[in-house]
Amino acid sequence: MHSEHLRNVQISWVAFGWFVGLAVAATVLLLLAGAGFSNWGGVAEMVALAIAVAFGWFVGGFIVGFKAAAAPVLHGAAMALFTFVAWFALNLVFGGLTTGATAWEYFGGRSLAAALLVQVLAAIAGCWVGYRYTPVRVD
């Protein structure tokens, strides 16, 4: 792809795609909880969460890839990395307010790596598919 340059990455589309991914993932999880699938426990809940996150970030990536029409891999990676920015900002502002434990203590390293890997792969795949079907591309 000729458009994979940092100058083609639009931060506004990255943030928009991240919010869309979060909204779709939350909607899927809410629908699963409403249907009674929230009492699975253990591995089944982790798989459902991974599928919801992957679907959400794929949809967000698709929209970004279709609308930005440039640098699909960089946009997808930036969408997933935007999670760190949002997580850090929310933890600074609201950290420990409700539970007494910060997210840094609650979320383990392996879980963080797995969640980020799912987000990166789904967002890049969505951006790439959206980029493939866009009518006008930036080269």
Nearest to 64 by CA among 5, 121, 123: 123
Model confidence pTM above 0.75: yes
Instruction: Say how many domains are in the chain.
Output: 1
Q: What is the pLDDT of residues 89-114, one digit of tens each?
A: 877 777 666 656 555 555 667 777 88
For residue 42, what are the domain limits? 6-132
**Domain assignment present for 21:** yes
Residue with tokens 């589309």: 13
DSSP secondary structure letter of residue 133: T
**Domain assignment present for 1:** no
Q: What is the pLDDT of residues 13-36, one digit of tens each?
A: 889 999 999 999 999 989 888 887
The answer to whether 53 and 100 are in contact (CB under 8 A) is: no
